[in-house]
Structure formats: structure tokens, C-alpha cells
Structure 1
Amino acid sequence: MEHKHFIIYKPFGFLSQFYSNDSKQQKKNFLGSLHDFPEGIMAIGRLDEKSEGLLLLTTDGKTSDFVNSKKVDKEYYALVDGAITDEAVQQMANGVEIGFNGKKYQTKPCKVFKLEEEPDLPTRSKKIRDARHGPTTWISVTLNEGKFRQVRKMTSAVGFPTLRLVRVRVGHLNLGQMQVGEVIPIDLLEEF
């Protein structure tokens, strides 16, 4: 069987799955509504419902395991509430304590910096509060672990909650000029 691989710009408000048998989730948005994906497709890593951006999809479980086991870098742009301080940026880079599965977890050191200008991203489908409600800051966070809602928990831990979160890179694959909901078939290279 020849495996298929895709990159997708996951929209805000979509779950990183293709369908659900759970009656409570029937009104949710699933990736399967964006494209006619082949049987057996799965997301490599996930983005929560309120996050958006680059998501890799594959029909190959070995590829998924490889990407997850190699601790591939994932870069996120986060719009945070407030004028984030250099101290808070350094705390995140050094690692902060967050809650994970009901326990305390110390995040691993990662790369964090303020973006000099607002990134060129498509407008989000749901409006984000504007500057009338106080300052905001865009930061870049690159990590190679992926705990549930990790970036959001990290920014909150240093006092600057995330207002918008967009994954812009996984390994060497970039979001580039993709548009929200766009799906592109790719030949997945073995090295990230």
C-alpha cells in the first residue's frame, strides 16, 4: 500500500480528528469536512480546537511514530494578552511549571522571542479582542515536546495568557502562504 501524506492549515474551531461517534461532538467541526482524505488518515500531533495552523496528516502509523519520537521542532506564533516582559520570555525559554494530567510538569528549555512585527497571517474566523482592551504581543515559541495545550499553559504560567495560537512550522515544513483550510498533498521526507 502506498501511503499518503498531507499538510493542512487547520482552521480555528476545528478538532484535529476526522469524525466522532460521540453524540455530544456531532455539532463540532472535523478535518474530514475540508477534503476527501483517504481511509486510515491520522493527524501527526494535534492542535486543540482553539488553535490553528500547520498540521501534518498521514496514512502511515510508522511515519507518525517517527515524527513524534524524534522530538521534531514545532514553532508557534502566539498573540499574548499584555506587553510581555523580557523576564517572562526568559522564564518560558528556561522552562516553567505547568499542570499536565493532574500533576505538575516542568517544561523543557525552548526557544522563545518577541516578534518585531505582527506576522502576516490570515484573519481568524472568530474576532480577537483589539488594542482598545490593552496591549498585546506576538511571540515565537519553538519546542520539541508537545504536552496538551502546552504553549497556552506556558504563557499563562508567566502571566500573559494566549489570545491566538498558530503553529507555523513542523521540522522543515512551513505554513508559508497557505490559506485557512487549505490541504496540500506532499511527499514526506524522512528527515525533519
Structure 2
Amino acid sequence: MEIQILDKTFVPYLSALEIDAEVQRLAKDLLNDYKNEVPVFLVVLNGAFIFAADLMKQYTSAAEISFIKMASYNGTETTGNVTELLGLDIDLTNKHVVIVEDIVDTGNTIAALYNLVNRFKVKSINTATLFFKPEAYKQTIDIKYTGFSIENKFIVGYGLDYNKQGRNLGEVYQIK
């Protein structure tokens, strides 16, 4: 069933069951890789908050969680600029850091975050994203934990918004 958000029409893309299965798989991969460590999950707000909450429910080992807010979108288009709106409130020195993103497209936000995190002497840094757009990706940083590789089309729901609306949808919709 199509939905309308402001001036755009969206069609169903991924169901809640498909999303849940992918979140569980990512959590298992993270648990396996960090089984003897206490990673810091650095959640990128606002978009990743639902993904991060579900991921953390499935991540059953010790972990720290912190949040950072970055902005790079205006409507359906990336601006090309990344702005830090809410900074780090945790010392990342000598820790394993996993950046938790809702979606990676150009990779500009990831590059900015890697630059920020690398100011600390971290043990490691990786990215976990639910959605990855390989066609749009312009960086060389490896995205180790990827849920869905998707076309370079705009999506909404499960934390992702269109002009501040649609984050609360339990399924993901693609622009028509």
C-alpha cells in the first residue's frame, strides 16, 4: 500500500520481518567479533535510533552506548556537508568503537566520524549500518557490518525520515 508523506509518495520496500532478521544477523556477527571485548556503540542520531535500539536488544554481551548527532541531508538530497550537532560525551581512548548508522550513501558522514574518532587512540573502529548504497558511496572506508545493500533511491521508515516525518514507520518504504 502506498503512503503519502508531505509532497512525496512511497511504496513498500522492506517488511518489519525482513528488517528484524537482518538486525539479528548483524547482532550475531558483532557478538562473534567482539566476544572478548566491551565495544562502544556510537549511535548516529536521529536516524539510527530505532536500528540501534533493536540491535542492542540482540547484542547480549557487555557494551557501552553513546550518541552523536550529525547532519548531511536536506529533504531527499545529501548536502555534501556534514555538521556535528551533538558531540561526543565519552572518552574513546583504548576502546573498540562501532559506529551505528541507519544508512550509508555517499559516506561523507562516516568519513567525518572516522576523523573525529581517530583523534582518540582507539583500539579499532568499524561501522554497522542497516542500509548501504554502494552506487552512491564515494569513500574508501570499509563498511564491515552491512545489512541491506540497496539501490540509490530514497527510503523512509524504521528511523529514516523525509523532512522530519516517517521515522516512526515500522517498515521501510521507497520513493515512487
Q: TM-score if structure 2 supplies the norm length?
A: 0.24
* Structure with more of its chain in strand, by fraction: 2
Compare relative contact order (CA 8 Å, sep 6+) and give the higher one, 1 or 2: 1
